[in-house]
Amino acid sequence: MSKQLARHVGQINKFLTVASANAASTHNTYFTYVRELSHPIARDPPIVPVEEAVSCIKSGDTVFAQGAAATPVALLNAMALHGKCNNLKDVTVCHMHTEGPGEYCKPEYKDVFRSNSLFMGANVRKAVAEGRGDNVPIFLHEIPLLFYKKIIKPDVSLIHVSPPDNHGYCSLGTSVDCVRAALLNSKLIVAQINPKMPRTFGDAIIHKSHFDFAVEVNDNLPQHGTGTISAVEQKIGKLIAENLVKDGATLQMGIGSIPDAVLAALHNHKDLGIHSEMFANGVVELVRKGCVTNSKKKMHQGRIVGSFLIGDQALYDFVNDNPFIEMYGIDYVNNTGIVKQQPRMTAINSCIEVDLTGQVCSDSIGTRFFSGFGGQVDFIRGAAEGTDGLGVPIIAMPSTTKNGESKIVPTLKAGAGVVTSRAHVHYVVTEHGIASLFGKNVRQRMYELIQISDPRHRETLEKDCFERIKVMPSPN
């Protein structure tokens, strides 16, 4: 027997011994086992080296990986090495947006791992484009159903948590989203424990006794700082802040230059609230200035509600051990029935292109998949259905690409997918103005959208309108 094979057999035997001991230890209580993650069970997880922790992954397994700032990079890198060294085959890795190198997605691992993205990040785009990875078109709020309905059945879940407190509770930190759903339906849980993971509240808690293996790291979290906001993005942010965001509004927005530009333009607003699947660095300063108070909310009054986040260290320090922040599952935060109850719900989302009828493409460039459905439709619809009748659904984008091509187009690129339908769209904002599309017929929509397109492209867009509609007088 080779040394490598002997070592691997030894790891498997040790895993089986620990698993057997853990199973036996659950008989210390009347209820032999519970799935609820916040309920302690009578066992302690073994703290092992990272390569040993991932040795429980076998050929044919489905592995779930936590995402965003909580991506367990050390475990995923070790998993890639384990798969390559031990000739694993056909391991599916399912996840939302993840950070880090995505080692398991590289071409040399194509027979070992296959990524199955529930929302694509940059580290898996090449694999999907080349047919070595997959993506699932799905609304963000429905992702937990994939686990509850056993459509995805994880054999092993890899997560990233804060250290346990005096009662043995860890926190899922910056990423709750679909993690609870995955863990409740996973055979094994492997935790990466990191003192640099912020401790958050809400649905984030998990007792350490639910870990089958744990590793200890002391790694910085992935960071996305606030980049330079361009003059175009500043105009868009100012237009939205001054015309569409009212005092007392509840905000949803993602990460990127346009959300940052909007947040930077809100410093004279009062009593704002945050109910968003994620939020960005700019929220911290708005809280410190007293602009964000969440005081008008009827649900979670006085609290920021989120589901996952990624930002800079200042954001992580802000959310750490802060009861002002509550993190919940994505099936709750993005549930339209919850969203529509928020006062003056104002949803701000960006996209890749919009056609002249109002169809919005956000997840692909032609036939090439770029990201995913995300929470755009969840919040656009939730804001439109606002029970107070004051919701504001917004699609915001620069009028042109970096190459000068118009993002308002006669028809979407061949193969491009529609994320937000023309019936869902209310407001489209570019640096040239605000188009109000709700209740407008197709001819009126075309006119509205042409008015906020780049002036260099308006003549071409108008010609297309005349060609399609034949006669297009200025709408009343």
Supply the residues annotated as catalytic.
Answer: 277
CB 207 within 8 Å of CB 169: yes
Q: Kindly report the number of other CB atoms within 10 A of residue 418's CB atom.
A: 15
**In what order do the strands lie in the sheet containing 201-202?**
201-202, 325-327, 304-306
* Pairing assessment for the beta strands 392-396 and 427-430 based on DSSP bridges: parallel
Owner of token pair 């609290």? 303
How many CA atoms does the CB half-sphere of 159 hold within 13 Å?
36
Structure tokens at 40: 């302690």
The residues with which 171 forms a beta bridge, in sequence order, are: 205
Nearest-Å Rg of the Cα atoms of the chain is 24
DSSP category for residue 378: H
Owner of token pair 């424990």? 193
CA-nearest of 82, 75, 84, 136 to 107 is 84
CB 428 within 8 Å of CB 453: no
Per DSSP, the chain holds a count of helices (H) and strands (E) of 15, 23
List the beta strands (DSSP E) in 195-344.
201-202, 205-207, 213-216, 250-253, 273-274, 304-306, 325-327
CA distance 243 to 146: 39
CA distance 375 to 279: 12
- Phi-psi group of 94: left, alpha or beta (phi > 0 → left; psi -120 to 50 → alpha; rest → beta): beta
* Pairing assessment for the beta strands 408-409 and 427-430 based on DSSP bridges: unpaired
